[in-house]
Amino acid sequence: MTTYNRLFIGGDWVAPVTGDTYELTSASTEEPIGSVPAASEADVDVAVSEARRAFEDPDGWATWEPARRADAIDELANQLELRAEEMARRVAAQNGMPITIAKQLEGGFPLIVLRYYANLLRSSSFETQQPHLLGGTSTVRREPLGVVAAISPWNYPQTLASFKIAPALAAGCTIVLKPSPETLLDSFLFGEAVAATSVPAGVVNIVPGGREVGAYLVGHPGVDKVAFTGSTAAGRLIAETCGRLLRPVTLELGGKSAAIVLDDADLNLEVVGERLFESLLVNNGQTCYLGTRVLAPDNRYDEVVDTLAAFVAGLPVGDALDPQTMIGPMASALHRDRVEGFIDKGRGEGARVVTGGERSDRDRGWFVTPTVFADVDNNSVIAQEEIFGPVLAVIRYSDVDDAVRIANDSRYGLGGTVWTSDPDRGAAVARRVHTGTIGINRYLPDPSAPFGGVKDSGLGRELGPEGLNAYLNVKTIYS
């Protein structure tokens, strides 16, 4: 059991206002693994005022030379590196992410993101001068927006928090992070890492809470910018609040991306198996950008279905902490029930189960049997709704125009892939898909390039220089 009794606010471990707690459970064994205090609205008030105080400090974080802030961000990356194994273990235990993946992503990716922004900061200019068109000089400054409310989901709690924290810190903002109730033990370890650096008190504050606390934080008068990753439904509510308050907001929301298999694709699993796994199934399907709608050409339809079915049926399912595991459990019993509901719905709609489909026979853990549906109609629920589990729907297309039409026939537009032996042909198809990101024969987000969605998948971009701009106000001084 990992137990915390205090919250990380104002650079210190402070007693929470109420005695409410969150009990954390292993997704693989359903055993208790930890207990942490819950933040109330009163704790959020303290966290926002600490973040405000740290932001307004005339000698504080926002006023530091970029190189000094960059050094402190590197320090944070180094402190997280010291805790990377434990971080991966905590995330895997809580949300079911297989430990080998958790080490690479939750243990490793935030370090890459932090170091990328530290380096970007060292090479960025925050003030330029130009001749005023009507005579004189215009000085254009890029200044930190202020106090950031960062709200993260449970599927990649550390990685997705780093997409917000790293650029916000680089910009000179201060942060109140609200992690998701399913994954809190990792956020306390993150707090320990921050406490071990020279990042000043109050620059990073953490308020563990559910949607009510999140909504309270989003609308808090002391917040200047909101950065959210989570469901489209919650994103809409947050956008409404931010619209009313004219508060800048970045939204990374749901997805239902297409994996377009062209008729010249190499389907040899020895060659493409790992990349198919990363693009279609990683983290037990609990990943926003996965290409869970597989579009297969008429003339190779059966081959695509059989290949995917054999691949999915052969993936080792097991305890998330077992290094052999490729597919772990769902993050919660509620989510497992939701995914199973979609599988029932798919069968009811007439799609053909090729592998999986039945309830998991494990007596412990929130497991779902990895499932492939064939003969799926793109208008059906399992083709249009985000399932967020190890469930693939294979849809038939007649020619490339038909494939592009089906790929774009979705309310989402976050990720996607094109599978082909001809990269130029792949790029031509990729250009026609309405989405924020897309890969050719792979899908691997690049920390130095913008990431995000169109349509119901979100607003704005994280990562890359665009991700830094989202935390900066551009101010012009005429002289």
Whichever of 24 and 262 has its CB closer to ligand NAD, that residue is 24
- Least CB distance from residue 329 to ligand NAD, whole Å? 15
- Least CB distance from residue 337 to ligand NAD, whole Å? 14
Residues 6 or more apart in contact with residue 292 via CB below 8 angstroms? 256, 257, 259, 280, 285, 387, 391, 392, 393
Q: Which residue in the set 253, 265, 272, 321 belongs to the binding site for ligand NAD (CB under 6 A)? A: 253
Is residue 234 a contact point for ligand NAD (CB under 6 A)?
A: yes
Question: Using CB under 6 A as the criterion, what x/- string covers residues 380-419 for binding ligand NAD?
Answer: ------x-x-------------------------x-----
Is residue 238 a contact point for ligand NAD (CB under 6 A)?
A: yes
Taking phi over 0 as left and psi of -120 to 50 as alpha, with beta for the rest, 365 belongs to left
CA-based nearest residue to 48, from 219, 172, 299: 219
Q: Has 288 been annotated as catalytic?
A: yes
Identify the three-state secondary structure at position 178.
strand
Interface with ligand NAD (CB under 6 A), residue total: 30
Is residue 453 a contact point for ligand NAD (CB under 6 A)?
A: yes
Q: Which of 252, 340, 386, 462 is catalytic?
A: 252
Q: Which of 75, 106, 278, 288 is catalytic?
A: 288
- Least CB distance from residue 107 to ligand NAD, whole Å? 18
- Least CB distance from residue 284 to ligand NAD, whole Å? 13
Q: Which residue in the set 110, 230, 328, 426 belongs to the binding site for ligand NAD (CB under 6 A)? A: 230
Q: Which residue in the set 93, 151, 290, 392 belongs to the binding site for ligand NAD (CB under 6 A)? A: 151
Nearest residue to ligand NAD on Cβ basis: 214
| Start-end of H helices in 259-332 | 269-280, 301-313
Whichever of 235 and 297 has its CB closer to ligand NAD, that residue is 235
Choose one: 13-21, 24-32, 97-105, 145-153; the region binding ligand NAD (CB under 6 A): 145-153
φ, ψ of residue 284 to 5 degrees: the values are: 60, 25
- Least CB distance from residue 371 to ligand NAD, whole Å? 19
Burial class (CB in 10 A: 0-12, 13-18, 19+), 375: middle
Choose one: 134-142, 248-256, 348-356, 358-366; the region binding ligand NAD (CB under 6 A): 248-256
- Least CB distance from residue 247 to ligand NAD, whole Å? 13
**Interatomic CA distance for residues 14 and 32, integer angstroms:** 24
Is residue 160 a contact point for ligand NAD (CB under 6 A)?
A: yes
> Which residue's structure tokens are 């597989």?
294
**Interatomic CA distance for residues 192 and 189, integer angstroms:** 5
Question: Using CB under 6 A as the criterion, what x/- string covers residues 186-225 for binding ligand NAD?
Answer: ------------------------xx--xx--x-------
Residues 155-176 as b or e (16 or more Cβ within 10 Å = b)? bbbbbbbbbbbbbbbbbbbbbb
Is residue 43 a contact point for ligand NAD (CB under 6 A)?
A: no
Q: Give the residues across from 227 on adjacent strands.
A: 150, 250
Whichever of 79 and 284 has its CB closer to ligand NAD, that residue is 284
- Least CB distance from residue 452 to ligand NAD, whole Å? 7
How far from 125 is each of 23, 65, 129, 141, CA to CA, in Å?
Answer: 46, 11, 11, 9
Within 314-382, strands assigned E span: 352-355, 371-374
Whichever of 154 and 397 has its CB closer to ligand NAD, that residue is 154
Q: Has 252 been annotated as catalytic?
A: yes
Is residue 288 a contact point for ligand NAD (CB under 6 A)?
A: yes
Binding residues for ligand NAD restricted to 105-134, rule: CB under 6 A: none
φ, ψ of residue 120 to 5 degrees: the values are: -60, -40
Is residue 470 a contact point for ligand NAD (CB under 6 A)?
A: no
- Least CB distance from residue 210 to ligand NAD, whole Å? 5
Q: Which long-range contacts (CB under 8 A, 24 or more apart) does 311-314 make?
A: 311/269, 311/273, 311/276, 311/277, 312/281, 312/355, 312/356, 312/370, 312/371, 312/372, 312/390, 312/392, 313/355, 313/356, 313/370
**Interatomic CA distance for residues 157 and 91, integer angstroms:** 8
What is the pairing mode between strands 249-252 and 458-459? antiparallel
Burial class (CB in 10 A: 0-12, 13-18, 19+), 271: exposed
What is the number of other CB atoms lying within 10 angstroms of the CB of residue 338? Answer: 15
- Least CB distance from residue 178 to ligand NAD, whole Å? 6
Question: Using CB under 6 A as the criterion, what x/- string covers residues 328-367 for binding ligand NAD?
Answer: ----------------------------------------
Q: For residues 136 and 91, is the Cβ–Cβ distance under 8 A?
A: no
Q: Give the residues across from 7 on adjacent strands.
A: 14
Burial class (CB in 10 A: 0-12, 13-18, 19+), 300: middle
Is residue 284 a contact point for ligand NAD (CB under 6 A)?
A: no
Catalytic annotation, residues: 252, 288
Residues that bind ligand NAD in the complex, under the rule CB under 6 A: 151-155, 160, 178, 180, 210-211, 214-215, 218, 229-231, 234, 237-238, 252-255, 288, 386, 388, 414, 453, 457-458
